[in-house]
Amino acid sequence: MPSSGLLVFLLVLHGNLKFSLTLGVSEKLWNYNYTRYHPMDEISSWMDSVEEQNPKLVTSLVYGQTFEKRDIKLLKFGLPDPGGLEKKAVWVDCGIHAREWIAPAFCQWFVKEILQSYNESDVRLTKFLQKIDLYVTPVLNVDGYMFSWTNQSTRLWRKSRSLPPQGCGCHGVDLNRNFNANWGTVGVSTDCCSNTYCGVSPASEPEAKAVTDFVGTRVDQFLCYLTIHSSGQLILLPYGHPQITAPNYDELVSVGKAAASEMKKLYGMEYRVGTSPQILYANSGSSRDWARLLGIPFSYTFELRDKGEFGHLLPEDQIKPACEEAYVGVTSILSYVYDKNFPNDKLPTAAATACVHATGLIVMTTLATLLVTLGFV
């Protein structure tokens, strides 16, 4: 092997070159186009590939079915705790509103970043996943999402696809008004033709019930609940009801503003932080509020790009920057959550991690030079 070839080989082993085949990551995953919107069948196939190609890191789980009997599936990312301790968890879901295509695009981007960091032996991610499992649902409202792909007339469909109640002719429920959190009190409609129709009772919809059952039976494990939406460039915290305040409100604001600050550094995009009544509108029955009422300390809704120019029809050329800034915001929150819960085993700083990689690169380069000098290549 020529010396230059050896050096490249060692660099790849060190994780400084992102050659997916050498790193053991399926070429199919990296050839997947993360900068375009995908229909549900392509997302489902991609999820299968993620699990198949990363068996030590990823498992999948069907935790419910939609009204039209389609599987609701998540990807779980986790590594064994070195001490064999019980792990904590973080929830991330996308696509609860069908027309918000940038949300499932983000969940796919988020997964890509996790896989890439893991295969580059990222010390921060490894430590995180040894203590905390990540549960990611790329598309929660599968029926509605698929319906939004039917044609241009259905593109802006928001709700689920359940049958209307007797005496009404409109399908679907706003799933983000159907959770048992001050259900039916403010910011909802009892008209089944409304986009904010809250359903006949809390968790009446199978999609909301699936989340309620899965997370609700594991509430002691969950430290953080993130639900991704669009648009408006907002980071919303509990509660949607104007007369109720989260017990850790000040901390939620502080952590949210820190995330927004990190997001702005990338492309200068402003993300406002606050409760829904403060910066958007009052509402009830949201999954975010339900999670906080359940006892999950950190619960946020991310409203991704933009501020009205395109709305839910965000062009594909904005997927990359929108997802990059959202990823920075999400990881800012997750880093805080980790450090707060594991104060004696905090994540290394990004600078320290970079130093480790740089040191490793120097060692590998020196080793390559030594082997050449000694005539082994």
Helices (H), the chain: 3-14, 27-31, 40-53, 102-119, 123-131, 142-148, 206-216, 249-267, 276-279, 287-294, 319-341, 350-373
Q: From the CB of residue 369, how many other CB atoms can be counted at a distance below 10 Å?
A: 13
Residue 366 half-sphere exposure, CB side, CA atoms within 13 Å? 6
Residue 120 dihedral angles phi and psi, to the nearest 5°: -95, 10
Task: Indicate the residue type of 183.
Answer: W
3-state SS assignment for residue 302 = strand
37 within 8 A of 99, measured Cβ to Cβ: no
Please tell me the chain's helix, strand, coil percentages from 3-state DSSP, rounded to the nearest 5: 45, 15, 40
Catalytic residue IDs: 303
Structural tokens at position 214: 């899965």
The upper half-sphere exposure of residue 36, i.e. CA atoms within 13 Å in the direction of its Cβ, equals 7
